[in-house]
Structure 1
Amino acid sequence: MTTVVQSYIGGRWLGAEGAQVLRSAVNGRPVAATHAEAIDFERAVSHARRVGLPALMKLDFQQRAERLKALAKYLNEHKEQLYAISAHTGATRTDGWIDIEGGTATLFAYAGIGSNELPAGNLVHEGPAMALGKRGGFSGTHILVPRGGVAVHINAFNFPVWGLLEKLAPSFLAGMPCIGKPATATSYLTEAAVRLIVQSGILPEGSLQLVSGGTGDLLDRLEGPDVVTFTGSADTAAKLRVHPNLVRQSIPFNAEADSLNCAILAPDVTPDDEEFDLFVKEIAREMTVKAGQKCTAIRRAIVPRQHLDAVAARLRERLAKVSVGDPATEGVRMGPLASRAQQDDVASRVALLLEHAELVYGERDHPAPQGEGVAEGAFFAPTLLLSRRPLEQAAVHDVEAFGPVCSLMPCEDLDEALALAARGRGSLVATLVTRDPRIAAQAIPVAAAWHGRLLILDREAAVESTGHGSPLPSLKHGGPGRAGGGEELGGLRAVKHYLQRAAVQGSPTMLSAVIGEHVRGAKLRESDIHPFRRWFQDLQIGDSLLTHRRTVGEADIVAFGGITGDYFYMHFDELAARESPFGKRIAHGYFVLSAAAGLFVSPAPGPVLANYGLDTLRFIKPVGIGDTIQARLTCKRKIDRNKKDAKGVGQGVVAWDVEVTNQLGELVASYDILTLVAKRE
């Protein structure tokens, strides 16, 4: 780590002269200083557009996914450097793990999403294609393509590494160069992470720049294809959202803001239940992990009035066991806040809350922080408040103390609990602790209108639950109202946020050429070579085979029923079948599927290695005794995942469109077959 926290702009590190001193949250000693030099944001944006964007577009989704995976591995190999610096922010090893390895886990997750869910190339077909005319000559569909802009990511102080990486991963995968701006208080840790990223050489130059300091006129230099994302306070989000240039150019702005998240103890849970202790444990954990400096932390605990004293007593008992102090001291479970300024802010907000609440547990009850030199640290004791009349008191639903602070509040029943939860005017996450599935079914649809994520916690889920406060790459992170109204993560959804969606209309042949995927009705390529005999490189979209025909007899139905044990009446009961909507006995749908496979397979060993699934299977019309079926097999889609088997043979994924028709030319079954196909050496 450098003495002066530098910016990485235009391919060079900037900053030699110190300005604002950044102090250790543990002991107040200087850790680093911000740089005094002004940043040329015209240069930063130009570098992203002229260098970063072309470099990213030379790669496709699959290749960018590979880079993310390599970066995750590299950062994990050097993680101890980040842990050492993270200690200055007040983070315990557990806190650091959430931030540092939580960040690399997100990189791994998006590498997997890119590899498994995105195609080769830089266009995503967001189908299905649909016929727009009666004769099959005019169709339409949707595509997603890179926006061709720059992503500006503005982050809060509490997750200096994860905050950067969880935004970088989907935007990099989508082909957008990023300019990251961390919060000043902990920017020295973000700078250390970016130094490792640059040092690795894994990301193309220009794909990531770092702004250590203010954003200056950066937002004024953005254009329509660009994107701005923000994590931080609701007040700051509200100001950025109406920035004149963002409004004028309709630049997408995504906000994930701190919110007054809640946990509800359902009325079916009693102090004798395991779920009661799970509720108490979850609140205590959310108060003390990262010293409560999480946008997802539980700020309001809603409890049936008859259990209020029991919850308060158990929380006091648990909080008293939390050792606070220097994270380097053995046994310490909670460190300080990120800075003395943050300490003052939390203290002022607790004072506001105490104007209408009681102190249940706080500094008066908690042992002094452990460790040497901690007197100058930014410590704040776990603080539990009680609002006895929460329906009448607004502060508990409006004021957030961004630290180890939570307010208890009683409710009369589940409906009142849900009403209190909604008073927060939108949050990132809420937890419902209940034993009764009927209560969950009643509460969750109501709560979902005001919360971005909902955790239903009981003894069964607790075995594997990642907890109230842990956003996961595969699930949406964000919430309505006060929580910012935006969305992050959520698997492929986050990548799509950085892509541009367009509707495309034209003939099936033209659409097929554009999307790189066969559209029914497009021109086909038929030859004497069976498509299953072609290597992955030699297969072309539209390569097709029309099979010979097969007439279905009663013996086929009887034999298939005997093999499978499927004696459903529609296949075997002549009288009952005659009275059915079909008016006759019909073949098993899966017999039709199997018979079609027999029509189009090429049985000898060849490039097709394995069939590993079916997609979009539909049985359109019944097949009766005496009907004649025929299949058309067409190469629909190819994905080169750049993988090799144990013998070093390369392989790709091919999706085959299958149409099964009857003697009248009517479609009776439709599906995609997914196969692994070997590459020619």
Structure 2
Amino acid sequence: MTTATAVSTDIVPSFIEDSWWAPDQQVLDSGNSTRVRDASTGEVLAVVCTAGLDIGAAVRFARSTGQAELGKLTFHERALKLKELAQFLNGHREPLYELSARTGATRGDSMVDIDGGIGVLFTFGSKGRRELPNSQVIVDGPAENLSKDGSFLGTHIYTRIPGAAVQINAFNFPVWGMLEKLAPAFLSGVPTIVKPATPTGYLTAAVVKLIVQSNILPKGSLQLISGPARDLLDHLDYRDLVAFTGSASTANHLRSHSNVMHGGVRFSSETDSLNAAILGPDAVPGTPEFEAFIRSLVTEVTVKAGQKCTGIRRTIVPKALVQDVVDAARARIEERVTLGDPRAEGVTMGALASLEQLEGVRDAVRELMSSGGELALGSLEAPPVTRADGTVGPADGGAFMAPVLLTWDDVEAGALHSVEAFGPVASVIGYDNPAHAVHLAALGSGSLVATVCTNDPAVARELVIGIAAHHGRVLMLNREDARSSTGHGSPVPHLTHGGPGRAGGGEELGGMRSVLHHMQRTALQGSPNMLTAVTGIWHTGADRNFDGVHPFRKNLAELRIGDAVRSDLRQVTLEDITAFAETTGDKFYAHTNEEAAAANPFFPGIVAHGYLLLSWAAGLFVDPAPGPVLANYGLENLRFLTPVAAGDSIRVTLTAKRITPRETDEYGEVAWDAVLTNQSDEIVATYDVLTLVEK
């Protein structure tokens, strides 16, 4: 690759092969560079150029060094690094806010982007430790018995893909866009190559600089390409993954690349869409729902200057309420929205990211107007704005645009449902009835998100079921959640972010779903011992270790998968059953009425309570003296299989099934396979006992 040079503050650098890279002056003088400007003033901030950058070397470094370093860590160790990184970035937000203002973002916009991105790191750091094993393999579901004697089993496992996660991001969220993809990729153990959009990539580069300075992430786990990377997909194959956020046209172009079409590159996209917000017929002016709807509409038109892939583009309301919605939105905008340079006090709406973006939005509005849309609010003229010094006047080279609302006589006009103005623009259109509203929402051909605002459960059900298959997410907004809702345009890391059709057909976030997106699910067949060896989970039929030492006397350093204990038999008497019924109050007839119990097709007569058997089982396997086992914190997968009558006996066999040390505590979790059998070795009950055990 090109020799790294000293990084100039005027050049947005790349971070490749664990070092910063920038083109030499001769390359810059050749004209192969792009100037990046302050969105509010037009001032040149930096130069972006990748001429001479060896992208193939970045891919090779990710597959080799990145994979090797991340492969040394378990899921829990990676999760802790995400938490540590989140804490580090949390302490360096102020300089990022200052830099973010140059993108046209207000303080509130910047918090959505920067704090939101850091929040994703915190979330995956927490969920990774709570929901994943402290290992490198995820088992998907219980094992399937594939033979009569239990010697041949099948299951499914997830292991990380062996290549790189190439993440191509849009200009509107330069921090969140990177971190929301980095977190699940890192947690899965797959190295990231991030390629931000040029207009705001300098903010992404600033975050990467902080990450590198923190020295928290392993070598090769994050690389940055600042600028064009037209041959990036040429270097990828079936081992790699591309996660794209941006326009539908660019996504379709990338999806048609031969390495995606024929080479097996995994491709996921999250693209622009004509998201809808539907106002229920009950939500008339004066209701809490109407007020919440107007707040949501104005927020989505003005936050990030409307530059959100999740923004409301089509406001679908009862036909009689179109003018009411426009008037209420106008009043709220006039009262609460101050357009100008984000560095000026009192400004609540900033500029678009660039003059090119501004012209693109204006062109889209012109197309909408030529297709039947009428301006109900705003204009395409340059608005007066509040400058950084507090004065009000012309934009002076800034990419400013006032909020625009359009209305339509023809609510099924093709452009209305196909042309997106990616800025502070929305259309307000009227529907006849809920079925018509569903029809109009579906004309968007697939969207990321829709809001249904109503307090009528029947209307909510009709609208949601009608539009759900056309959307990746639906927010149900009413008076009960108006204050607590995260909002129409705010994806959360716990839930998937994506949508069908025009929206790209992909899914991001969604908790562990996005981690598994970076992994390969493989069907695994073999003997119980071999499945146990690969998965780290004891499988029925695998060897047990009855070494004479009760496994409850072993700490985590001594305990091994398969360590087991088998109890003696204990006989159940009718007196035991009756006493348990009297003590607990559980006098269900199967335990107290011989005639009624015998008439039940499941019981031979009076039978012991299932919870009596569980209580006895604990007494049969527990070692009572103080020791490494600190606490019992629950049961999982409990099933009662064979009834136990008076005169029968039970015993329990307890086997260490799964051992999960906690990285930050002096104890870990152990899941024990518990099997209750009767005097004839028939299985009475099966379940997992969960305990906390000292390291």
Whether the aligned pair in 1 keeps the contact of 2:500 and 2:506 (CA below 8 Å) is yes
Q: Distance in 2 between matches of 1:569 and 1:435?
A: 44
User: Do structure 1's residue 133 and structure 2's residue 141 form an aligned pair?
Assistant: no
Whether the aligned pair in 2 keeps the contact of 1:572 and 1:585 (CA below 8 Å) is yes
Q: Please, which of 602, 609, 626 is the counterpart of residue 605 of structure 1? A: 626
Which residue of the partner structure matches residue 117 of structure 1?
131
C-alpha deviation, 1:562, in angstroms: 3.1
Q: Distance in 1 between matches of 2:584 and 2:409?
A: 65
Q: Distance in 2 between matches of 1:307 and 1:559?
A: 68
The one-letter code of the counterpart of 2:379 is: E
User: Do structure 1's residue 379 and structure 2's residue 393 form an aligned pair?
Assistant: no
The one-letter code of the counterpart of 2:503 is: A
User: Do structure 1's residue 622 and structure 2's residue 637 form an aligned pair?
Assistant: no
Q: Please, which of 357, 377, 380 is the counterpart of residue 342 of structure 1? A: 357
Q: Distance in 2 between matches of 1:444 and 1:501?
A: 32
Whether the aligned pair in 2 keeps the contact of 1:15 and 1:37 (CA below 8 Å) is no
The one-letter code of the counterpart of 1:573 is: N
Residues 257 and 592 of structure 1, relative CA distance in 2, 3 Å threshold: same
C-alpha deviation, 1:273, in angstroms: 1.4
The one-letter code of the counterpart of 1:601 is: V
Residues 36 and 137 of structure 1, relative CA distance in 2, 3 Å threshold: closer
User: Do structure 1's residue 637 and structure 2's residue 658 form an aligned pair?
Assistant: yes
Alignment of 1:548-587 (within 5 A): 548-583=568-603, 584-587=605-608
The one-letter code of the counterpart of 1:663 is: Q
Q: Percent identity?
A: 51
C-alpha deviation, 1:598, in angstroms: 1.4
User: Do structure 1's residue 49 and structure 2's residue 63 form an aligned pair?
Assistant: yes
C-alpha deviation, 1:542, in angstroms: 0.7
Residues 450 and 97 of structure 1, relative CA distance in 2, 3 Å threshold: same
Q: Please, which of 162, 168, 176 is the counterpart of residue 162 of structure 1? A: 176
Q: Distance in 1 between matches of 2:243 and 2:276?
A: 25
Alignment of 1:479-558 (within 5 A): 479-558=499-578
Deviations 1:110-166 (A, max 9, x none): 111221122222111112111111111111001111211111100000000111111
Deviations 1:497-535 (A, max 9, x none): 111111111111111111111101111111211111110
C-alpha deviation, 1:32, in angstroms: 1.1
Q: Please, which of 179, 185, 191 is the counterpart of residue 193 of structure 2? A: 179
Which residue of the partner structure matches residue 236 of structure 1?
250
Q: Distance in 2 between matches of 1:589 and 1:2?
A: 71
User: Do structure 1's residue 80 and structure 2's residue 94 form an aligned pair?
Assistant: yes
Alignment of 1:63-462 (within 5 A): 63-321=77-335, 322-355=337-370, 356-363=372-379, 368-372=384-388, 374-391=395-412, 393-462=413-482
The secondary structure found in structure 1 opposite 2:567 is: strand
Q: Please, which of 671, 679, 682 is the counterpart of residue 663 of structure 1? A: 679
Which residue of the partner structure matches residue 3 of structure 2?
none
C-alpha deviation, 1:571, in angstroms: 2.1
Deviations 1:56-91 (A, max 9, x none): 111121111111111111111111111110000011
C-alpha deviation, 1:390, in angstroms: 1.3
Residues 271 and 366 of structure 1, relative CA distance in 2, 3 Å threshold: farther
Residues 277 and 597 of structure 1, relative CA distance in 2, 3 Å threshold: same
User: Do structure 1's residue 13 and structure 2's residue 28 form an aligned pair?
Assistant: no
C-alpha deviation, 1:367, in angstroms: 6.6
Q: Distance in 1 between matches of 2:47 and 2:164?
A: 28
Q: Distance in 2 between matches of 1:320 and 1:124?
A: 53
Q: Please, which of 487, 499, 509 is the counterpart of residue 467 of structure 1? A: 487
Which residue of the partner structure matches residue 691 of structure 2?
675
The secondary structure found in structure 2 opposite 1:287 is: helix
Aligned-residue CA RMSD (Å): 1.6
Unaligned runs of 5+ in 2: 1-7, 389-393
Unaligned runs of 5+ in 1: 645-649
C-alpha deviation, 1:595, in angstroms: 1.6
Q: Distance in 2 between matches of 1:366 and 1:589?
A: 75
The secondary structure found in structure 2 opposite 1:517 is: coil
Q: Normalising to structure 1: TM-score of the pair?
A: 0.96
The one-letter code of the counterpart of 1:57 is: G
The secondary structure found in structure 1 opposite 2:281 is: coil
Which residue of the partner structure matches residue 613 of structure 2?
592
Whether the aligned pair in 1 keeps the contact of 2:18 and 2:219 (CA below 8 Å) is yes
C-alpha deviation, 1:13, in angstroms: 1.3
The secondary structure found in structure 1 opposite 2:53 is: coil
Q: Distance in 1 between matches of 2:319 and 2:308?
A: 28
Whether the aligned pair in 1 keeps the contact of 2:50 and 2:229 (CA below 8 Å) is no
Q: Distance in 1 between matches of 2:459 and 2:148?
A: 49
Q: Distance in 2 between matches of 1:420 and 1:69?
A: 43
The one-letter code of the counterpart of 2:593 is: D
The secondary structure found in structure 2 opposite 1:633 is: strand
Q: Distance in 2 between matches of 1:353 and 1:566?
A: 69
Residues 182 and 366 of structure 1, relative CA distance in 2, 3 Å threshold: closer
The one-letter code of the counterpart of 1:439 is: V
Whether the aligned pair in 2 keeps the contact of 1:274 and 1:459 (CA below 8 Å) is yes
The secondary structure found in structure 2 opposite 1:432 is: strand
Q: Distance in 1 between matches of 2:272 and 2:84?
A: 32
Deviations 1:13-53 (A, max 9, x none): 11154532111001111111113642111211122122211
Deviates more, 1:40-49 or 1:552-561: 552-561
Which residue of the partner structure matches residue 647 of structure 1?
none
The one-letter code of the counterpart of 1:340 is: L
The one-letter code of the counterpart of 2:199 is: A
Deviates more, 1:362-371 or 1:83-92: 362-371
